[in-house]
Every structure is written in C-alpha cells, then in structure tokens.
Structure 1
C-alpha cells in the first residue's frame, strides 16, 4: 500500500551506480517500480478489496461462509455470479436462482499480493534511508535485533510440546509490575516536565497531559486494590500485548536511526505487511476442527465439520479396529462408474450424494413425495428410511446451521462383480455412532459417512460442562467445561477448566469453548470445543501492536510539529498587530497585552460553545420535581427491574418499550401535552383501558391501514382502541404471514408481523404486572390456572420486578410482579 507522503528529491537515486551502465539500470528499475508504487494503484486496489468484500457478503445469502471464504477470498480469481446482487430481501418478487451469468474478478489473495507489491515498491522509491555511517550501522543492527525479538515473540506461542500462553511470572506478579510501571512512568513524566526547557511549551503541555492521565490511572489502581486487577484471561492477553509492544518499540528505535521523522510510517507499514502475512499463514496452514464430548466420556480425535469422509471399519480384531478412509475429494471425484482399489475390501459406486439432507420414514411419505423422491436403497437402513435433499446452510442462517450430507453407496463384490446392495449412509447416524453393517466374503464391516477426523496423541475427558444464562432469560451468558487432559508422551495429566474467552493452548493447538447441548430425552450434557491448529496465532497480536507503536510515534511527531508551528506563529509580531494601538508596534508591554488578547479571542468561541451546550445538557439532566398532588414519576422510574438478563431502571424499560411500538421515547396524550414514557408504562400496567386510548402504535403500511380500516394521519400513530375490533382479522393475517415463511413473506405480511410484535410487547408488560384472580369459591382451580399462566409467561422472558429476598434464594432469582403477588 503506497503512501501519499512524498520525500524530497535527492541525487541519491542518480548515483546508485558507479558507471553509466549502472545508472541506466537504476533508471530502468525506477521506471519499472514507479507505476507499481503509484497511489492511484493503491486506491484501485482498495476499491477492489471493498468490492470483493461486498460480493462475498452478498454471496452468503446462498452459500455457507466457509465456501465463500474459499471461493472469494482465499483464491486468486473469484467467480462472481450476477444473481448475488439481487438478494431476496431487496428484490422479494424476483426469482434469484434464474438469473444467469457470472464474471471473473481478482480474488482476495491476488488483491492482497498486489497490495504487498504496491507497499514494497512505495518503500523502495519514497522511503530513503537517511542515516549514514555509524548511525546506519546502528540502525540496521537494532532492526535486526528487533526482528529477532519479534520472531521469538511469535514462536513463543507455538510450543508443540506442552502448554503455552503463560508468562514467566504469575499473573499477580505481572499485575504488580504493571502498577509499578505506571508509577515509574508517572514519576518520569513529572521529572521531565519540571526539568524541560520552559520555552518548549508544546512538549511540556503534552507531557503534563499524559502525566496527569497516568497519575489518575495509578490512583485508581491504588484506591481499588485487587478489585482493579484484571482477570487471569485478561492478564494472559495483556502479557501477549506487552511482549508485542516491546518488540515494536525495539523496531521503532532502529527505524528512528534510519528513517528519522518517517520512522512511524515505516513501522506502521511493516505491521500491516505482517498482518497480511498472518492471513496467508492462516489460509494455507491453519486447521479448524471440533471436539464434541459427553459428560464422563473420553475422546482422542477432533473432526472438521466442513469435510466428510467414508469410513470402512473392520471390527473383527478384538484388540484394534482396521479403518479404511475414503476422503470426500476421492468419493465425489467419480460420481458415475465403479471405483476399485486394492486397499478396499470391496468395490463401490456412488449412486447419489446430497450435500445436505434429512431422514424421513419411508412409511410417512405421501404418494406425491414418493413419486418425487425415488429411494435407491436395496438393503440396510435405507429400506425403512429415505434421505430427502435440503437447501445447504448459508452464512445468513440464524444459529449457524451445519450441512448433514447423505449418500447412497452400492457395494460390489470384488471377485464376482455382483452388487451386495445399495446402502444409505447419513451423517446424523454417524454422529450417533450408528453404522451400516455390510458383510463381504464373510467379514463384517461397518460403514460410516462422517466428519473428517484428526486423531491426537493425547486424550480429553469431559468431567463437567456448565451453561450459564442471563438472569431471567434463556439467553446464554457463558459455557464452561472441566476437562482432564492426558498426554502419556509428554507426561501430562491435568484437570483444566476452559470457558468462553479463556481458551486452552496446548501442543500447538488452541481449545475454545464454543458450544453446549443437552439431550432433551436423557438430559445428558455435551460440550463442543473448537480446536484450532495455527502456528501463527501470535502474529495478529504482534502486528497490531507494531502498527499502534508506529501510529502513535507518527501522530506525536505530527502533533508536535503542528503545535510548535502554531506557537511560533503566535509569537510573531504580525500575529498581534491587529490588537496594537497605532504607534505601539515596538512597545514590549503592549505586545504582551496583545498576545493575551489574541489568546482570549482564540479561546472565546470554543468556551461559548461549551457553555451553551453544557448548560443545555445540565438542564436536561436536572431531576424534575413533581407537584404536591402528583406521583413522583422520576423516582419510580429509578426502581430496578430485571429484563433481558440485565438489571436496569424501570424508566429504561419504559423508554425502550415505547420506542419499539412508537418510534419515540415520549407520547402525546388526549390533551395534546407531551408525556414521558414512564407515564405510559404506569398506565399500561395499572389501568390498561386508559393506556389503550393513547396514540402510540405506529402503523405506516397503506395495505395494513386498509385492513384495520384506519385513515392516514400525521405521525402514523394510533391507539389500541382505534383497531381493537379488527383484532380477529389481524390475527388471521399474522397466521398467514407465518405460514408463508421468512423468505417468501410479502412486505404487507412483514408489516403485519411487526404490528403483532408491537402488540406482544404491550401484552407482555400487562401480563407481567397483572395479579392473578383467586376467587374464594374456586380457589383451587384459579390457583392451578395461575400457575399454568405463569409457566406460559415465564417462557416469554418477561420483565421481573421483584428481587430475591427470601432465605436460600439466588441473586438472579427475580420474580414477576404477577407471580410474586
């Protein structure tokens, strides 16, 4: 990537050679490099990168994200179909699949390669080494040392013989060193400020500002004590950043010797180049797999959910299984004809393959479905079950679906070439360890169509897995797994806890907590650990901190240059002449007065702006005082309530709810007066009949207004009473809209569902604060009905206004007002 900062032209480039032949070569070489270093080329490459990102994003409507990465970004040339530019969300009435044609475009790797060449050429032409003699030698020596330190920092994360990511000191000791470092930096800033030449006002001002910030940070550390200390997972990341920052500072020192004021830009570009190298390493060498383990079970392999394989297992030996693997690339290479190989116990033919399929009982198919979906199976489980093709998972699917392939395999006897049957193999069965038995020459085999496996030299046992939800919701807050890792070769036998944002790094691999599942019938819990093999996982840490160090240095140099120039301009006599009386141009006392007046003039406008807007904000922040005969709405709004997993003021719930249904945080009552959201909230939960008269429901769609027999009005806001008689028709239309499905719903149907959602928000508030009706003559039946209604309400994750107060209650066991009543 080229830079728009041009260097002064010198004769250095003209004297690179000692003879005319060398000079001609250098001139030719420069002519070759000049277009490659062009800023126009940089802009074009950035535009191409933005376009390929746009195309890849749109392509995820129809393709899985990993397919898009391989076809658009980790490739030299991308094949971009025209249909991706007509997504169904923008063109609901257009059949996207019938749009033909495509065009070729540079892929992510080609664009990145050209960017690297552009950046390298720009440095050869525009960034000249300014040091000479011993300074040049020292500069290159420091850069060599810095490069060595950078390499050591990167490889420190690639320990293949054991645990990694830990510092030489304990996290507590590292925290103490951090506090000591902040204290020393504060002390050094104070010393530098007081001993620096007072004429260097710009530098002293910056040092004073940074010293004050560091002092405040140190004071906060001291006042908070251990409460200010980062968690162990955060300290681990901090340790990586400290190492990377140290490497960046060493490199910066060398760049300052060689490139002087341009050192920051050179270092910044080096960090960007290192980041680009990181993506190349990830794309070519990284392996991402998963471990799925049930509680109490042990596994020694991880599987790749993007690749499948056909496994043929001979289990006749009681000591070990003989496994023959047919990779996906070979399995799909020949979709027609018989495949024969000496390593296989039988020949086979791929009859059908579905990238994504679901199993259905053959007996459950209708005659039309049987006619549309022929069952090629002649033996095994395929006689009772059939695989039905499904749309492949895409990058826009909610929940991140995974394809479950299925295949029909014809097994053929090697000796007689006779068919032994067509068998159905499905990934879902393989996940349940259900194989397809086949007998060949008296030897039984088990066939599995399963995810590609990577076997490990260690084993992992799941002792316990935990799922923590946000209070009052079913939304996951965190997963954690207690595992036992055993590696006989490295003499490792340890109990380890892995949780979200706190991965385990071992033997060159990183284990991330990524999923949790509980069997709905047995209740048995399972964990999913993402296992990533990436030798360059430290490179992003290092490259980012190198960029930060370079940017900060360059910013400071530029800022100091600007401040010094500004101070110099202020001290020039011409800067204050307009404030001097006639004849006082050479009077020193009058010049000093004029400088003060000039500074006041410079600061007057900013001060006025701050005062005006500060006063406005203070007026809005002022606590309103209620009348003597009115309820204190402000204080009621400050009461805590638990909703969507977080404790918040009731006023926040009221504002957010009103914004959802109305688009505003306040409303206009029948008298035309503006009222706060908390008043609408109180009327809604205490006396819904009054709240139903407020015009707070925003309805814009003309067709929906016709359905509800409403006329257009300014603001498009209506009350519940305006259309309550049309609720049966609205419910009918909402049922039809849901049946149409997300991808096929019309604009009108989408707006019907939006209105239903708004009504649901209001209904949830009413039901959450509505006390149950327990009548004396039917107390038992009413109590049962109240409990049933509470169960239904609880599944809707309602706002909970009653905090825990009884003995034995957990801190997150808040209750709704209606249930606690």
Structure 2
C-alpha cells in the first residue's frame, strides 16, 4: 500500500476531523428535526452515506452537502482499525489496550450493522385471535387475497415502491388487470354523507351566530349570556378592548356603553362575529373522535371548505371511485407527515379491467377494510395495508394484562400471555411477554408495547407487540464485554506491576 495513503489512514488528525464532522452532523440533525421530523432526519442524516440539502430554522439550504452517519462511522472504523494494525505490538503489558480497541471496533461495526439490517415491525391482535404475520407500519403494499379453503389464502402483494400513478399490474394469479389511476402518499378518506351532515351543522351554527349579532339591540342580551358560558368572556373582553374600552371587567356595562355609540357598536359586532366564527371553524378543524372517526374527518373537511368559501354539497364532493367503499367516500389529499407520533395514510384509485373492458374503479386505503372484486365465479379481496411478512408459525393471544399506577396513566405492568404453534417443530407452548421481558423466537425479538390510555379505552382486550429482526443484536454485549475485559486487564497488570516493584524495593 502507498505509504502516504497508509499514513493518512492511521493519522490521529483524521480521527479528530471525523469526530468533528460527527459533532456537526449531530447538531444539524438535531436542529433539522423541527422542520423535517425525527423519522426523516434519522433516515436522511444518520442512516445514509451523504446528506444533500437541509432545512434549518425554516430556511431551506439545497446547496448543503455533508457526509452522512454511515460515511463517518465507516471512516472511524477504518481509521481505528488501521491505527490498531500499525501500532500493534504483542505483549502482555499492552494486551488490555488491544482488547479495548477491538471492543470499540465491534461496537462501531455492530451499530452500523444494526442500522443497515434491523427491521422493526409490529403484531396487533385481540384476546382469542391468532396471527401468523407481522406488519411494518411505515411501509405499505397493495394486496390481492383469494380464499383457497377455510385455512389457506392466496396473496398477491405489490410493494409500495412499485405503486406509481399510471402503472399497470399484471399477474397470472389475478383474473383481471390493474391500472393505478391515482396514487398519493397521504390522504383522508371521508364519508360524503358525514361531510354533508357536518357542513349542514356548521352552516346552521354560523347562521345562528350571524343572527345573534345582526343588530345593535342584540349586543347587551348577548353580553348578559356570557355569565352562562364563561369561555366566551375573554373573547368579549378582547373585542371590547379592540374598540377602545378600558374598563372591561363588567362586560354588560361595557356592552351598554358601546351599544350607545354608533361608531363603535358596528365594529364590535363585526369583531365578535369574526372571533366566534374563527373559534367555531377551529373546533371543527381540530375535531378528533375515536368513536366516530368518519364524522370527525367530515367535520374537518367541512370546516376547510367553509373557510375557503366553498360549498359543502353532494355535487362539490365527488366520490373517489365508482365501486366499493370509495363510491360513498371523497378523497382529501394531505401532505405526508414527517414526525414520529403520526403517520401518513397512502391511498390509490384502481381501474380494474377484465375481458378488454373496465369493471369500474376502486379506492383503497389503510383506513378502509379489504373490498371484494368479483370476476365471474371468482372473488378477490383488495386492500392497501401495512407491509406484511408471514411467519412459519402462529401466535395466539390468550390474555392481555394492562395495569397503570393508581391515579395516573403511567404504565405499571403490560403483559401478554400467548400460545405459539409451530407445525415445523410440532411445538405448541404457552409463554408470557412483559414490558421488561421480551420473547426471542425464530430470529425475532417480541417486545411488549406500552399502550396509551386512549388505546386501552378503545381496545381493552388488545395487545400490540413490537417485533424486531436484528442479526447483530449480540454485538453491543460482546463489544462491552471485550472493552471491560481490556480495561480490567490493563488495570490489574499495572496494579500487579506496581505492587511487585514496591515489594522489591522493600526487600532491597
């Protein structure tokens, strides 16, 4: 090897530069989370070879180029390994240092392998249910399922990267051809009927608001009603201050003064209508109802259209498809989410063709259940779902235990009693998975997911397991043991040498 290259690879300056690059990368990645989201930053900055473009404090910097986490990590491993080879001299006195270096290399290589090879999935089931697959929440697939018999299904799955608008899907196992008419990364599938219902309620509420402040005579009676609805008091006080009133503690008295002043009363009524209208639209826009999510989505869409001055009528809400659930749904495209707490719901409109003609269009989304498509005497169920990986065994949830500390929502003990049935090994045994006691089976690690109070209220008998496939899961343990052994050896070697010298000096 060229001497100058070898000198460069073993240089301590290279180590310092790489550490400096890592510090800058961590800083930029931390700041960028505010604009790009944690999940996006992890993939683009730390699980990538090079970073091209960034957004800091709201400013886009497309010209920014920086080595990614993989590049810096590999550079540190190569530098440390080369320096270790160059300076390696076998002796008992330096064995501890050598072991420490080897342990650090194992830790770095293990972390790189974990980032590149680890796959996280989940398994969700209710008590009494049996599943033989795991799903990846942030990856999706278009699935066509056909029942072969009561125990077997035929599945044709198209991974998300192949789902592109205008693409045609042909498969010999399907009795039809699929053309992707529309595909989007995130969208809200909304019931047309629920949206119209929400629109009627919102329009009626806004009409009542308009009538409440239609004339100066209405000001004082409305001010008197504030005592019945304390939440409106601050809105009134802010509006009164806006027209020049300084003493707004007694809202009724202030309203009487303004009502007697023609120059102020019109401005106050307009301001109050605008404030209450904005608050009403905001409540509709932020509506979240787990008991009736379709109604909540309809209220959000109705508020969005009313705010934009658009009608909420059947004619203004075109159905997303001609067949299936989409015939009663409208589609509301949304920007893809980037944070860890929420996720995108991709959607697609499929044009199903057989015998040289179109059978109609179907809307598929993770928010919808699988839908039947009948061609002749064959029925195929279509769905857009989380990417599934089937297991050679099945797991049945026997019992789910959810406990929290008294008087709080803090998890105390979440555990799942499961039954593993493996026809290959003829294994049929029960075991338990808890928060601090995962199950390792078949190359996978099953961890108990800590469900929130809302999740528990919605599904009291449900359990969610986080499933991790990590071929390098032992690397951190081995690396730490080797580093600890090296440090212990180095300490004991010097300690024994020190004690031996002292004894020799005393003897002399």
Fold similarity call, TM over 0.5:
yes
1:61 to 18, 27, 34: 34
1:424 aligns with 2:360: no
Q: Please give the alpha-carbon distance, in whole angstroms, between the structure 2 residues aligned to 1:373 and 1:51.
A: 49
Measured against aligned partners, the alpha-carbon deviations of 1:329-358 in whole angstroms (never above 9, x if no partner) come to 211xx3235444545432223233332333
Query: Where do 1:112-261 residues align within 5 Å?
Result: 112-127=73-88, 129=89, 258-261=90-93
- What is the CA-CA distance between 1:519 and the residue it aligns to? 6.9
Q: Which residue of 2 aligns with 1:45?
A: 18
SS across alignment from 1:99: strand
Q: Cα distance 1:357–1:71, how it changes in 2: closer, same or farther (>3 A)?
A: same
Q: Cα distance 1:102–1:526, how it changes in 2: closer, same or farther (>3 A)?
A: farther
1:355 to 185, 209, 213: 185
- What is the CA-CA distance between 1:34 and the residue it aligns to? 1.1
Q: CA RMSD in A?
A: 3.2
Contact 1:34/1:125, CA 8 A, preserved across alignment: no
- What is the CA-CA distance between 1:65 and the residue it aligns to? 4.1
Q: Cα distance 1:55–1:287, how it changes in 2: closer, same or farther (>3 A)?
A: same
Q: Please give the alpha-carbon distance, in whole angstroms, between the structure 1 residues aligned to 2:124 and 2:459.
A: 16
Q: Which residue of 1 aligns with 2:96?
A: 264
Q: Which residue of 2 aligns with 1:313?
A: 145
Q: Which residue of 2 aligns with 1:529?
A: 465
Computing the radius of gyration over CA atoms, which structure comes out larger, 1 or 2? Answer: 1
Q: Please give the alpha-carbon distance, in whole angstroms, between the structure 2 residues aligned to 1:106 and 1:121.
A: 21
Contact 2:50/2:68, CA 8 A, preserved across alignment: yes
Aligned residues: 390
Higher strand fraction: Structure 1 or Structure 2? 2
Q: Which residue of 1 aligns with 2:249?
A: none
- What is the CA-CA distance between 1:274 and the residue it aligns to? 0.8
Q: Cα distance 1:488–1:321, how it changes in 2: closer, same or farther (>3 A)?
A: closer
Contact 2:9/2:83, CA 8 A, preserved across alignment: yes
Contact 2:53/2:61, CA 8 A, preserved across alignment: no
Q: Please give the alpha-carbon distance, in whole angstroms, between the structure 2 residues aligned to 1:512 and 1:387.
A: 36
- What is the CA-CA distance between 1:462 and the residue it aligns to? 0.8
Greater relative contact order (Cα < 8 A, sep 6+): 2
Q: Please give the alpha-carbon distance, in whole angstroms, between the structure 2 residues aligned to 1:520 and 1:539.
A: 36
Q: Cα distance 1:520–1:491, how it changes in 2: closer, same or farther (>3 A)?
A: closer
Measured against aligned partners, the alpha-carbon deviations of 1:630-657 in whole angstroms (never above 9, x if no partner) come to xxxxxxxxxxxxxxxxxxxxxxxxxxxx
Measured against aligned partners, the alpha-carbon deviations of 1:146-181 in whole angstroms (never above 9, x if no partner) come to xxxxxxxxxxxxxxxxxxxxxxxxxxxxxxxxxxxx
Measured against aligned partners, the alpha-carbon deviations of 1:516-537 in whole angstroms (never above 9, x if no partner) come to 3787887541111112222321
Q: Which residue of 2 aligns with 1:684?
A: none
Q: Cα distance 1:420–1:515, how it changes in 2: closer, same or farther (>3 A)?
A: farther
Contact 2:447/2:465, CA 8 A, preserved across alignment: yes
1:472 aligns with 2:407: yes
1:499 aligns with 2:434: yes
Q: Which residue of 2 aligns with 1:514?
A: 449
Q: Which residue of 1 aligns with 2:378?
A: 443
Q: Please give the alpha-carbon distance, in whole angstroms, between the structure 2 residues aligned to 1:563 and 1:47.
A: 41
SS across alignment from 1:60: helix
Higher helix fraction: Structure 1 or Structure 2? 1
Q: Which residue of 1 aligns with 2:391?
A: 456
SS across alignment from 1:345: coil
Compute the TM-score of the two structures, normalised by the length of structure 2: 0.69
Q: Which residue of 2 aligns with 1:193?
A: none
SS across alignment from 1:516: coil
Q: Which residue of 2 aligns with 1:304?
A: 136
Q: Cα distance 1:52–1:522, how it changes in 2: closer, same or farther (>3 A)?
A: closer
Q: Please give the alpha-carbon distance, in whole angstroms, between the structure 1 residues aligned to 2:413 and 2:338.
A: 25
Q: Please give the alpha-carbon distance, in whole angstroms, between the structure 2 residues aligned to 1:372 and 1:548.
A: 69
Q: Please give the alpha-carbon distance, in whole angstroms, between the structure 2 residues aligned to 1:420 and 1:52.
A: 53
- What is the CA-CA distance between 1:325 and the residue it aligns to? 0.9
Q: Please give the alpha-carbon distance, in whole angstroms, between the structure 1 residues aligned to 2:61 and 2:320.
A: 32
Contact 2:52/2:66, CA 8 A, preserved across alignment: yes
Q: Cα distance 1:554–1:352, how it changes in 2: closer, same or farther (>3 A)?
A: farther
Q: Which residue of 2 aligns with 1:402?
A: 343
Q: Please give the alpha-carbon distance, in whole angstroms, between the structure 2 residues aligned to 1:560 and 1:63.
A: 55
Measured against aligned partners, the alpha-carbon deviations of 1:63-120 in whole angstroms (never above 9, x if no partner) come to 4544433322232222232x2x21xxxxxxxxx3x73524222122121221121112
Measured against aligned partners, the alpha-carbon deviations of 1:369-418 in whole angstroms (never above 9, x if no partner) come to 769986542222112223323444434x5xx33333222222223x31x3
Measured against aligned partners, the alpha-carbon deviations of 1:7-51 in whole angstroms (never above 9, x if no partner) come to xxxxxxxxxxxxxxxxxxxxx744331111111110110111222
2:484 to 548, 554, 567: 548
Measured against aligned partners, the alpha-carbon deviations of 1:305-332 in whole angstroms (never above 9, x if no partner) come to 121100111236556322211111211x
Contact 2:404/2:411, CA 8 A, preserved across alignment: yes
Q: Which residue of 1 aligns with 2:325?
A: 381
Contact 1:63/1:393, CA 8 A, preserved across alignment: no
Instruction: List alignment gaps of at least 5 residues for structure 2.
Output: 196-300
Q: Please give the alpha-carbon distance, in whole angstroms, between the structure 1 residues aligned to 2:155 and 2:62.
A: 44
Contact 2:372/2:382, CA 8 A, preserved across alignment: yes
1:106 aligns with 2:50: no
Contact 1:316/1:444, CA 8 A, preserved across alignment: no
Contact 2:320/2:331, CA 8 A, preserved across alignment: no
SS across alignment from 1:494: strand
Q: Which residue of 2 aligns with 1:283?
A: 115
Q: Cα distance 1:336–1:486, how it changes in 2: closer, same or farther (>3 A)?
A: same
Query: Where do 1:737-756 residues align within 5 Å?
Result: none
Q: Which residue of 2 aligns with 1:184?
A: none
- What is the CA-CA distance between 1:548 and the residue it aligns to? 1.9
Q: Please give the alpha-carbon distance, in whole angstroms, between the structure 2 residues aligned to 1:523 and 1:283.
A: 33
- What is the CA-CA distance between 1:483 and the residue it aligns to? 0.9
SS across alignment from 2:449: strand
